[in-house]
Amino acid sequence: MENDQMISPTDIITGIVFIDGELAMLTLTADGELRWTEYGLRQQLSMKKDVLGFVVEGKRIRVKVVVEKEAGICCGQFDGDFVRKDFVFEPLIDQNGWCFKLRQYLDSLGRPKRLLVFVNPFGGKKSAREIFVKEVKPLFEDADVQLEIQETKYQLHAKEFVKSMDVSKYDGIVCVSGDGVLVEVVNGLLERADWRTALKLPIGMVPAGTGNGMIKSLLDTVGLRCCANSATISIIRDVATIAQGNTKFFSVLMLAWGLIADIDIESEKFRWMGSARIDFYALQRIICLRQYNGRILFLPAPGFESYGQPASCSLYKEPPVSDKELGYQGPETNFEDLEWREIKGPFVTVWLHNVPWGAENTLTAPAAKFSDGFLDLIVLKNCPKLVLLSLMRQTSSGTHVESPYIVYLKVKAFVLEPGGLVDEPDKEGIIDSDGEVLARGKRTYNCDQKALMSYDKLQVTVDQGLATLFSPEY
């Protein structure tokens, strides 16, 4: 057999093996590469990037691998950017040595061994259970990850569970759902007395809902599609705190008021349509367009100081309280003496975003960055209906923010003072955060979700680097 493979003294293990009935020299290098020559071609696999795990089958060792489709290997069982493949070899000697070294290297990568998995069978097209069984669970099993599975049975189920669970039992949490369960998990962890410890537990998402904005934002940054088999692992951080008096809600994605909130929440009555309900109801709302009185105040990020008019603002401050009494209380703020700006209504919509994508097909805030410490603010005050229809279509590409009708800027802090409809002042609106009804004013759509706050002044601040998420790393 022709073999020009060099053996380095730093290689972890090297030996002659059978691959597809042919003898080959196989090496596990110190930098985590499995290298061999097959049919005269040099081959390699990365233990960190490609290898999930391995099993012993008699004299053979079966290495379970995921590879990018662009690599030219096409035997996958899953739709997405990656396919599953097995690399099988049979050591002539020292099979135990190979198993020990492979296991030792995989363990050194610090991968999760025990995961709590929330599956939301009610979200989106109610496909989460099928996605988990067919696409997610087999990959976890190949990687030898132990799973505790919790199907959510009602709103805030996941939040209640994580508030009282033993965090030491898990290496991470995975949400097979849309964005709603992720938001519940974050809020539940932040309400724990030991929230500092609990937040060190990474949270992962597998898209199986209507929106999927967070996982779309994570995957899109590295050029991967928003699908179950592409939701792989690394870590990033960011959470916003919405406060109204003593009441707090911790937002991961966005806050909306006006047209966007009305579409998001009121379209729930058409949930049987799946994600098409959003487009369907958006058309109805644009035809019968509402405008709301109100005022927004914001502390602009550097470079955005010219937006709006000068204003003064006083943020709500709580008396000191022990973490053990109420959990995380939001970031420490000292913004009162800084140069606040304001924009007065009427408004068609106000949209505050923490990540680029609001949903898989909605690039709401194309300039948003993870963990930059800012929130992206999108404001629409007035707009012809035909132009507005065009702007809604442009949200799929993010070009809507280039319109002269749109005000788009970055802010450090934000205050919303919502009012009633211009044409019906006694009829108020809905404030939506991450798909949850944050507040519901008088004579609004009566849905099943309970409002967490009153329809009144609220403030939003961002805590940079607070939560930890599983995300792709390339």
Structure tokens at 249: 């809600």
Task: Sort residue 356 into left (φ over 0), alpha (ψ -120 to 50) or beta.
Answer: alpha
Catalytic residue chosen out of the listed positions 50, 179, 376, 432: 179
Q: Which of 336, 363, 94 is nearest to 221 (CA)?
A: 363
**Which DSSP state fits 132?**
I
For residues 449 and 375, what is the distance between their CA atoms, to the nearest angstrom? 26
Contact 309, 340 (CB under 8 A): no
What proportions of the chain, in percent to the nearest 5, are helix, strand and coil?
25, 35, 40
For residues 314 and 110, what is the distance between their CA atoms, to the nearest angstrom? 45
Say whether 179 is catalytic: yes
Q: Which of 111, 101, 114 is nearest to 52 (CA)?
A: 111
- The residue type found at 95 is Q
Contact 212, 180 (CB under 8 A): no
DSSP 98-125: HHHHHHHHHHHTT--SEEEEEE-TTSTT
Structure tokens at 469: 């998420």
Contact 407, 342 (CB under 8 A): no
Number of H helices, E strands in the chain: 11, 25
Q: Which residues are catalytic?
A: 179
